[in-house]
Amino acid sequence: MKQELIPTYEELLHHKERVADIDPLSVITMLELRAAGEEVQHSILDILQREYKLSEGKFIALVILHQTDEGLAPSDIARRTGLAKATISVLLQNLDREGRIEIRPDAGDGRGKIVRLTKEGRAWLDTILPAHYERISRLMTNLTQEEREELCRLLRKLAEGKADSPRK
């Protein structure tokens, strides 16, 4: 979200005249959070796309698979990534074709499938992840350790709230 799309405090006060429950600072804070998140995400994802030809969906699926040796059902990958099953199906077919994963029948369920990283896929990801995590770490150097901890706490607290929940 571009900075110029964030309304001014005065603009929001004008809206508050019509809708009393509007809190201008809350709106600005949320939009600033979203803008910062998008900027950080784009800077990281651009590198993954440019250097490794990885979309966000592929990367997230690979990281999830990297966290398990046993493999996962495609439906579990869809649930964990938040992507639709049809999207995951295409994504997994592409990763399989690239040799990053293998899709095998599930021994416990004749109709099911299990997806695992290939040996090559795991080794490839093992070369990508340290640099990825280093880039993220560098992005966070503007914040002190205490500020990072506080930001994590505040973001978790924010995530607990629901926009459609009734006022207290």
Task: List, for residues 14-41, the tens digit of each pLDDT value.
Answer: 777 777 788 888 888 888 899 998 888 8
Looking at the chain, list the stretches that DSSP marks H as alpha helix, in order from N- to C-terminal side. Answer: 9-16, 24-52, 56-66, 74-81, 85-97, 119-139, 145-160
Count of C-beta atoms within a 10 Å radius of residue 78? 20
- The predicted model scores a pTM of 0.77
- At residue 75, the pLDDT reads 94
**Predicted confidence (pLDDT) per residue in 77-121, tens digit:** 999 999 999 999 999 999 999 999 999 998 888 789 999 999 999
What SS3 class is residue 103? Answer: strand
| Residue 59 CB partners (closer than 8 Å, separation 6+) | 45, 48
Residue range 54-142, CATH number:
1.10.10.10
Q: pLDDT value at position 41?
A: 87
**Residue 106, by phi and psi: left (phi above 0), alpha (psi -120 to 50) or beta?**
beta
For the chain, residues classed under CATH 1.10.10.10 are: 54-142
Confidence band for 42, pLDDT divided at 50, 70 and 90? confident
Tokens (6 digits) for 63: 């990281």
